[in-house]
């Protein structure tokens, strides 16, 4: 079978509408995006690629102002949108179109479940499955320039040219292994997460070394992270240009009361010092003066070696299941979920992470839950009140 790889440029609404109507009749299409975000908070689309098995279409979002037909296609329930390593692309579609592609099949995830390799890049997947070497020389191109070079056009077309062929091979493998429903669930969860309302209130918990701060400092860090996220989106600038994470941590720790003290903190963005120093100082003062009962509790410290033994005991179950299922252990359970389950054991109230529900519950979740309850009971006996 000859796979068409010549790029077909689409820069008018009438052509796009006709194509989208045709694509809605297909069971699946391959999609990808090229975007820029080096100096912005949001990813700005320079190109949308669609592969339908008959051609590689390059849609120009800079020329077509009304992309409603493309948005309708992206949410058409009977057409699977096949994409490789989708996380950033989902952001692009949400910002550009206001929708997230669904139903979705991420071939990076699906390939891992099909035992074709964990966290494979697109070029590696195509090479492994089709024996075709792809040139990735335009990865860091300027996709907002016009006209795009022939090299860019060729590169963009290849990103969707072979995806449906590999998708077909992956489907066969997943059905043989009985894991297709697993992958569908994972991809549906990605769509749900991308569609979820933004909530910055817990962003402070992801700051490195936040566990070292006391509640009266954490409340400042919490408000700083909310401000940084909100302002970055309003200004469409990278959050680190406003304030790096280490700077937010240091502001919370030192509680500066003057512009001079604020400027002395490493990692404060020039824009923040120039345009927002009074705002940040007022935020710090207000948070510092807030009542103690409104402060977030201290965050848990890193696990000690002794506590790490609990994590290892839980992980050993995941490893055994992975071996029995002939699947990589990273798919069975994630490191952060192991730590979350370990901490619930230490707290004496076992709570199974959400990711160990769904298909994972019957495969590994039930076993890990039982082991966690056993370890919690053992801890109670060894450390009676």
What amino acid positions are annotated as catalytic residues?
32, 34, 89, 155, 159
Whether omega before 349 lies within 30 degrees of 0, making that bond cis, reads no
Residue whose structure tokens are 């997943």: 174
Q: At 79, give phi and psi (nearest 5°).
A: -120, 115
CA pair distance 46, 61, nearest whole angstrom: 6
Other CB atoms within a 10 A radius of the CB of residue 104 amount to 23
| Closest residue by Cα to residue 8 from 27, 24, 22 | 22
Give the integer Cα–Cα distance in Å for 181 and 194: 20
Strands 28-36 and 44-51: antiparallel
Longest dimension (CA), the chain: 73
Cα–Cα distance measured from residue 352 to residue 342, given in angstroms and rounded to the nearest whole number: 10
Sheet with 104-106, side-by-side order of all strands: 7-10, 56-59, 44-51, 28-36, 80-83, 104-106
Where on the phi/psi map is residue 199: left (φ > 0), alpha (ψ -120 to 50), or beta?
beta
- Cis omega (within 30 of 0) for bond into 103: yes
| 28-36 and 7-10 strand pairing | unpaired
């Amino acid at each position: 079978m000859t796979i068409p790889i010549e790029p077909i440029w689409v820069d008018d609404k009438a052509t796009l509408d006709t194509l989208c109507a045709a694509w809605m009749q297909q069971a699946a299409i391959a999609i990808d995006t090229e975007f820029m975000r080096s100096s912005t908070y949001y990813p700005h689309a320079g190109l949308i690629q669609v592969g339908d098995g008959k051609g590689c279409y390059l849609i120009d979002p800079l020329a077509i102002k009304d992309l409603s037909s493309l948005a309708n296609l992206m949410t058409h329930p009977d057409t699977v949108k096949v994409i490789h390593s989708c996380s950033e692309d989902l952001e692009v579609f949400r910002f550009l179109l206001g929708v997230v592609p669904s139903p979705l099949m991420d071939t990076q995830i699906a390939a891992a479940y099909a035992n074709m390799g964990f966290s494979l890049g697109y070029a590696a997947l195509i090479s492994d499955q089709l024996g075709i070497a792809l040139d990735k020389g335009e990865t860091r191109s300027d996709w907002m320039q016009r006209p795009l070079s022939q090299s860019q056009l060729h590169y963009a077309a290849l990103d969707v040219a072979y995806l449906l062929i590999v998708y077909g091979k992956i489907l066969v493998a997943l059905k043989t292994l009985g894991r297709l429903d697993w992958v569908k669930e994972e991809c549906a969860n990605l769509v749900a997460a991308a569609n979820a309302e933004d909530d910055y209130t817990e962003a402070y918990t992801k700051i490195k070394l936040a566990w070292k701060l006391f509640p009266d400092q954490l409340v400042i860090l919490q408000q700083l992270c909310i401000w940084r996220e909100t302002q970055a989106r309003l200004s469409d600038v990278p959050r680190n240009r406003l304030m790096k994470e280490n700077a937010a941590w240091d502001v919370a720790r030192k509680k500066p009361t003057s512009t001079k003290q604020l400027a002395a903190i490493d990692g404060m963005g020039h824009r923040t010092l120039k345009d927002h120093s009074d705002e940040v100082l007022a935020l710090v003062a207000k948070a510092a003066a807030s009542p103690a009962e409104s402060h977030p509790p201290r965050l848990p410290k890193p696990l000690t070696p002794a506590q790490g033994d609990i994590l290892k005991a839980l992980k050993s179950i995941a490893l055994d299941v992975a071996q029995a299922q002939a699947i990589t252990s990273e798919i069975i359970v994630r490191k952060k979920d192991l730590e979350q389950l370990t901490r619930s054991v230490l707290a004496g109230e076992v709570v199974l992470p959400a990711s160990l529900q769904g298909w994972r519950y019957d495969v590994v979740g039930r076993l890990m839950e039982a082991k966690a309850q056993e370890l919690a009971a053992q801890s109670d006996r060894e450390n009676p009140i």
